[in-house]
Amino acid sequence: MTKFLNQTLGKMIFGLKVVALKEEKKTISWGTILFRELIGRYISKVTWIGYLLAGLLPKKQALHDVFADTGVVLIRR
């Protein structure tokens, strides 16, 4: 779902969207999506600190977003 809609079901409910910070296209590449998801799942199994960083970093990125050059933004409705 992240590839085609830039959202998962949970992000849709909360009005959030995944965006690429350095890619010029509107859609995120498969490589970026797969890297973000795989590294995110690995980090979440090892430690919860990666998600804590989202509250501390200026761009509000979790650790897997920092590695993948992505971010999660609030959709204005």
pTM for the model:
0.78
| Radius of gyration in angstroms for the set of CA atoms belonging to the chain, rounded to a whole number | 12
| pLDDT tens-digit readout, 19-74 | 998 867 667 889 999 999 999 889 888 888 888 888 898 888 999 999 999 988 89
Cα atoms found within 13 Å of the Cα of residue 12, Cβ hemisphere only: 8
pLDDT at 12 over 80: yes
Which tokens hold the place of 65? 């977003």
- pLDDT band for 14, please (50, 70, 90 cuts): very high
